[in-house]
Amino acid sequence: MGLESIHEQALGAKEARRISHVDLAKLYCFVKKGGNLDFVKTKLEGSRFEIALNRPEKRNAFHPEMIKEITQSFREAGASGAKYVYLYGEGKSFCSGGDLEWMKSMKDYSLSENRQDSEELFDMFQAGYELDLPIIGKVHGHVMGGALGLVSICDVVAAELQTLFCFSEVKWGLVPAVISPFVTRKMHKSRADQLMLTAKVFSSEEALESGLIHFKGDAPQMNHFLEEQFQLLDQAAPEALKATKNLLKRVENFDVFSLKQATAQVIAERRVSPEGQKGLQFFIDKQKPQWN
């Protein structure tokens, strides 16, 4: 993939046309070597695109600039050539939700300003959700409010034992509106209802039982689990990973009568694809697949 294609996928064709070839080269180096925005760090590490929330002095609390940087980082991940994304937070917490000063400023926003603000937050979650790459998340410390939206768009999540979670919105007279479509597709519906309505602080054990996360443990155990997930993804065929991720999103939104044609079409396309043919031959020959 050329520099122009990477840039157009990351920022959009219209914006990309405004950028010179020199700037394109800078962007490629930014992604390839590890780019630091003001509030997010990104790095392409082999087949893994890492996104680190980097506002540790504020427990990685969101504000508008950080939200835009996370959105941009998801889009860059999709254009980077990586096989999967690793999302985590620097410092003592993964993310403590909305920034206090940002929340204060909302009091003076007009209805239209609040709507635009909320739509940009939704754009961030949507950018991650629409990625055709698996997202592996690591959480620790506090995971509050909007941070649960980020957790919900991850495909696999590991949490440290002492992590605390909370849908705190109703406690402050708000509603977990923007994150609700993403949360309710991830968590058991009845449990999500209870936790959103009560604003109860819940543990990693409860998060595991609810389907929000997939593993809990101390730091060494968690890192071992994550390394295992990375290795498994590294062994997978890259185009098959993308096709599976896209299929899983489509299945969520399909009625049962639509599934027959859609799923049959997906697997048929995979079987005749060059990668699918290669994989079938590995299977027939009883060889260990090699995708690097």
- Per-residue pLDDT of 66-83, as tens digits, reads 999 999 999 999 999 999
The two three-digit tokens of residue 236, written as one number: 């997978």
* Cα dihedral across residues 166, 134, 190, 209: positive or negative: negative
Read off the pLDDT of each residue in 241-262 and give the average, rounded to a whole number: 78
Max CA pair span of the chain: 67
C-beta of residue 131 within 8 angstroms of C-beta of residue 108: no
Reported pTM: 0.83
The two three-digit tokens of residue 158, written as one number: 């590991």
What is the fold of 34-235?
Answer: 2-enoyl-CoA Hydratase; Chain A, domain 1 (3.90.226)
For position 2, what pLDDT does the model report?
Answer: 41
Percent of the chain exceeding pLDDT 90 equals 61
DSSP state of 174: -
- Per-residue pLDDT of 90-107, as tens digits, reads 999 999 998 888 888 877
- Per-residue pLDDT of 221-230, as tens digits, reads 999 999 999 9
First to last CA, the chain: 17
For position 104, what pLDDT does the model report?
Answer: 80
β-strand 164-166 against 156-160: which pairing, if any?
Answer: unpaired
For position 111, what pLDDT does the model report?
Answer: 84
Q: For residues 39 and 67, give the distance between their C-alpha atoms in angstroms, rounded to a whole number.
A: 9
C-beta of residue 151 within 8 angstroms of C-beta of residue 192: no
Q: For residues 97 and 106, give the distance between their C-alpha atoms in angstroms, rounded to a whole number.
A: 15
Domain ranges of the chain: 34-235, 238-284
Residue among 125, 211, 201, 188 at smallest CA distance from 162: 201
**CA distance to 68, 99, 118, 152, per residue, from 110 (Å):** 21, 19, 12, 29
DSSP-assigned beta bridge partners for residue 87: 51, 137
Strand positions, DSSP E, the chain? 35-36, 40-45, 48-53, 84-89, 135-139, 142-144, 156-160, 164-166, 202-203, 215-217
Reported as a pLDDT band with limits 50, 70 and 90, residue 244 is: very high
Reported as a pLDDT band with limits 50, 70 and 90, residue 87 is: very high
DSSP 60-97: T-B-HHHHHHHHHHHHHHHTTT-SEEEEEESTT-SB-S
